[in-house]
């Protein structure tokens, strides 16, 4: 099968027939073999009934219905596990992503050799209150992830080699950072394509401004996991040691200052009357706690079942070579 189109959706009953008809036309014109996987994320309208009717007319249209609303990331992850096409295309169900982009996305994966191609809605039909935070968000994501050639991490229209979606796990709200997840999994050939953005035709957006706050928190989580996920002591141990040393030196200075003033006949105060003494103790306590956090993290990692799981792309085996001869 050439292409799997994965469409996560929530209360998009009105747009689904038009979207599927559009996809069918594009696939027919390009002689693609395909499947359309529609993941209904607990819709409360008639979205599932529409998916059932579309499946009855075209067996290439398949569907999964969640019992309740879990979010876009779980919907995409379920779609990824079921995708059978050589190239996997993800797109939103609100008709803001154009299926006419599919042939070129497919070509970039199969001919240009990209692992992942992300769409870039260079010209957007969104209000300023949405576009400005989006630009700031993408600038931060580029800096943290190191993927400097992407302008729109959160674009729903993306293309992947099937191998990529089988080796990444999308959870929580991590769908915004799929390129970063792919890079961390070893798939670094990441490209971008300017795609057409259309104004929403039916319904209203399902995302609020809270996604920007959550997005930054998720980005920090991914950054920490990629840097220190298998070596937490390198972060907590180093930070804790520095804090403990600073606190210890400060305590020594406070004590030495009192002793000096005592023997020099200068006025002095009790060590416990100095605020610096308690600040020093606080630093030492926090440093010890951070160090122990890193130590406990190492114990957890040591007993993790996948602690020595590595993605191997190729292997030359002398014994196998001899056997083949």
Cβ-contact 6, 37 below 8 angstroms: yes
Comparing CA positions, the residue from 19, 185, 47, 197 lying closest to residue 115 is: 185
pLDDT the model gives residue 99: 95
Longest dimension (CA), the chain: 98
Contact 15, 95 (CB under 8 A): yes
Percent helix, percent strand, percent coil in the chain, to nearest 5: 50, 10, 35
**Structural contact between residues 4 and 89, judged by C-beta atoms closer than 8 angstroms:** yes
Q: What would be the CATH architecture of the domain defined by 3-228?
A: Alpha-Beta Complex (3.90)
For residue range 203-218, list pLDDT tens digits in order.
666 555 566 677 777 7
CB 74 within 8 A of CB 40: no
Collect the ranges in the chain with pLDDT lower than 70: 124-131, 199-200, 203-212, 304, 306-315, 318-325
Q: How far is the CA of 63 from the CAs of 2, 78, 201, 213, 246, in angstroms? A: 19, 11, 23, 31, 59
- Residues 261-284 pLDDT 10s: 888 888 878 888 888 889 999 999
Q: How far apart are CA 172 and CA 217, in angstroms?
A: 11
Q: What is the pLDDT of residue 308?
A: 61
H-helix segments, the chain = 16-29, 47-57, 72-82, 102-110, 128-145, 162-165, 178-184, 210-228, 233-264, 275-302, 318-324
The Cα 85–Cα 98 span in angstroms is: 19
Enter the pTM of the model. 0.74
Find where tokens 């606190």 sit. Answer: 247
pLDDT confidence of residue 323: 43
Domains of the chain, residue spans: 3-228, 233-302
Q: What confidence score (pLDDT) does residue 231 get?
A: 82
Total count of residues recorded for the chain: 325
Q: Nearest to residue 75, comparing CAs of 86, 90, 85, 61? A: 90
Query: Do strands 61-65 and 34-40 pair parallel, antiparallel, or not at all (unpaired)?
Result: parallel
């Amino acid at each position: 099968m050439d292409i799997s189109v994965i469409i996560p959706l929530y209360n998009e009953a009105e747009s689904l027939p038009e979207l599927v008809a559009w996809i069918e036309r594009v696939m027919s014109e390009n002689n693609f073999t395909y499947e359309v996987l529609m993941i209904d994320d607990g819709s409360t309208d008639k979205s599932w009934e529409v998916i059932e009717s579309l499946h009855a007319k075209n067996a290439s249209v398949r569907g999964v219905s969640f019992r309740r609303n879990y979010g876009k990331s779980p919907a995409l992850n379920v779609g990824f596990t079921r995708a059978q096409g050589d190239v996997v295309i993800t797109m939103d169900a609100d008709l803001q992503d154009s299926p006419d982009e599919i042939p070129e996305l497919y070509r970039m994966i199969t001919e240009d050799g990209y692992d992942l191609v992300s769409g870039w809605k260079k010209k957007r039909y969104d209000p300023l209150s949405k576009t400005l935070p989006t630009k700031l968000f993408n600038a931060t994501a580029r800096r943290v992830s190191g993927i400097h050639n992407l302008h729109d991490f959160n674009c729903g229209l993306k293309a992947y080699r099937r191998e990529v979606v089988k080796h990444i796990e999308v959870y929580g709200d991590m769908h915004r950072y799929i390129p970063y997840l792919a890079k961390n999994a070893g798939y670094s050939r990441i490209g971008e394509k300017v795609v057409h953005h259309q104004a929403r035709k039916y319904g209203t957006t399902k995302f609020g401004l809270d996604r920007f706050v959550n997005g930054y928190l998720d980005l920090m989580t991914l950054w920490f996991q990629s840097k220190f996920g298998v070596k937490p002591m390198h972060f907590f141990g180093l930070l804790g040691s520095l804090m403990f040393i600073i606190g210890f030196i400060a305590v020594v200075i406070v004590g030495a200052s009192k002793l000096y003033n005592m023997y020099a006949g200068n006025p002095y105060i009790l060590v416990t009357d100095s605020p610096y003494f308690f600040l020093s103790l606080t630093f030492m306590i926090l440093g010890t706690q951070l160090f122990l956090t890193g130590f406990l993290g190492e114990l957890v990692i040591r007993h993790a079942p996948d602690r020595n799981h590595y993605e191997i792309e190729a292997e030359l085996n002398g014994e196998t070579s001899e056997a083949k001869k």
